[in-house]
Structure formats: C-alpha cells, structure tokens
Amino acid sequence: MSMEGQVAIVTGGAQGIGFAIAAHLAEKGARVVIGDRRGAAESAAALTGRGLEAIGVQVDVTDEQQVAEMVQAAESRFGRLDVLVNNAGIYSTLTPTPFEQLTVQDWRQVLDVNVIGLFLCCQAATGAFRRAGGGRIVNISSGVAFKGNPLMAHYVASKGAVISLTRALATELGPHNVLVNSVAPGFTLSDGVDANPTLVAGVKGPSLKGRVLPRDMYPEDLVGAVAFFAGPDAGFITGQTLVVDGGAYYH
Ligand SMILES: NC(=O)c1ccc[n+]([C@@H]2O[C@H](COP(=O)([O-])OP(=O)(O)OC[C@H]3O[C@@H](n4cnc5c(N)ncnc54)[C@H](O)[C@@H]3O)[C@@H](O)[C@H]2O)c1
C-alpha cells in the first residue's frame, strides 16, 4: 500500500469529500487524523470500525491554537506528520448571491475559512514536516477559480487564492522537501451539497451538461488525485493544480 507508515491530517474530514479522502488514504495504509469542527470523532470511529487507523480532532481551522493542537495530536499519537490535506471549506452552505448583494461579512466568513484557515494549517504543519524531514500538502481548490462561476464571487476568489498560495508555498517550501499541490474538483455531490437543495437545483444540471463524461460527480472521484499528490509517485511534482471534473475545464 503506497501510504504505509505515513501520517496524514485531513481537515473537514468528517463528511463529504474530506471523509472520502480520509478513508482512501487510510485504506492505502496511512494513519489518519480527521480534523473537523464537528463530527470528527464519529467519522474516525467509522474508519477504526473498518480496521483502519484514525483519530478525530475537533478543530476550527480559523483558530490558530486549535490548529496547533491538531498537529500536536498527530505527532503525539502517531509520532510524525507526513501529509496535510486542506479540505475544510465553506461551499455547500452558500446561497447563490448576486455580486452586488454580497456583504463584507459574507466575504470575511468565506475568506477566513477557505484562505486564512488553510494558511494556518500549512503554517502549523510546516514545523512538523521539518521534524519529519519533509512533507506533502494537498490543497482542495475548485474548478470555479478557472471558470469564474457567477453568484459566488467571494467563493471563487477564495479558491483562486488557494491556487496562488499553493504556488507560493511550493516555491518557498520546496527547499525543505515540502511539496505543495492542489486538486480542483468540479461540482461534486458531497454530503453538504446534497443537504442544500437550492445549490443542487441551480448547479447540478448545468454541471452535468458542461462535462464530456456525462454523469454526476461524487467524492470518490477525487480521492485518487489526492492520494497521487500525497504518495510516492508524485515525488518530483510541486506547485501544480490538477482539475478533476469529468472534462468540464481543460487546465
Ligand atoms: N462539493 C463541491 O461541489 C466542491 C467543488 C469544488 C471544491 N469543493 C471544496 O471541497 C471541500 C469539501 O467540500 P464538500 O462539498 O465535501 O463540503 P461539506 O460541506 O460536505 O463538508 C465540509 C466539511 O468541512 C468542515 N468545516 C467547515 N468549516 C470548517 C472549519 N472552520 N474548521 C474545520 N472544519 C470545517 C465541515 O464541518 C464539514 O465536515 C471544500 O473546500 C469545498 O470548497 C467542493
């Protein structure tokens, strides 16, 4: 198994895309820390119930102290940290909103989690990666950053920032053997999306029509790309963004 002996944190890993990633990395032999604002312990228990190695840590990625404690939990329980998957993000709870009606508060809420939260997790993990002799960061961005989707300008901007930050960190951390890449999903029927009928009604149909592979996209469609960037086959790849969307946008 390609992740045998590795220790991985997956933020926002309690459900949806994050849980699918956590499960896949654990199935490949990684010991996994699920970090989430809610449901982390229950989701980790679902993995240990399948004979996989996982712990859950309750964390709000916008809280610097809690993020530091999540990294400490990984090191104290499993002895090291090798992989950070920055998946926690605000998307599925958003209400499509015209640009002129977005408020500063809307912007701050999205940027706080999707950009500053990701920054805090990268910063906290970097110390652990130095102690381990290197590491991998995989940031979950989004195809919207390339397509410029309407009615969520703050979200689109936040995911553009994730791609830019991926490049900046790849440059800065490469000399320390920390490789930083990003996966950009298309519209994915995650737990959160399924729970937002307005979003599903507005986006599912057009997304399906816009793909060359004519079917809905699920969290499991993404996990191989994340495992690739986290694993031994991607040892000379950094600063890249891989679009996984069934052929909607060619990057
Ligand atoms: N679903 C899609 O269509 C889609 C497409 C492109 C990118 N993405 C991105 O993928 C990621 C996961 O999306 P999803 O659809 O699985 O979402 P989801 O809503 O199903 O799950 C998100 C998880 O993140 C957690 N979370 C949110 N804020 C947090 C915080 N401050 N601290 C810790 N945990 C927090 C939630 O509790 C939840 O468990 C997000 O970054 C999203 O922007 C999703």
pLDDT above 90: residue 73 = yes
Cβ contact 140:17 at 8 Å: yes
Q: What is the pLDDT of residues 175-204, one digit of tens each?
A: 999 999 999 999 999 999 999 999 999 999
Residue 231 Cβ < 6 Å to ligand 1: no
pLDDT value at position 13? Answer: 98
Residues labelled as active-site residues? 155
* CATH code of the domain made up of 7-244: 3.40.50.720
pTM above the 0.85 mark? yes
pLDDT above 80: residue 1 = no
* Residues 6+ away with beta carbon under 8 Å from 37: 58, 59, 60, 61, 88
- Ligand 1, atom 25, residue with closest C-alpha: 12
Residue 92 Cβ < 6 Å to ligand 1: yes
- Kindly give the number of the ligand 1 atom that is closest to the alpha carbon of 88: 24
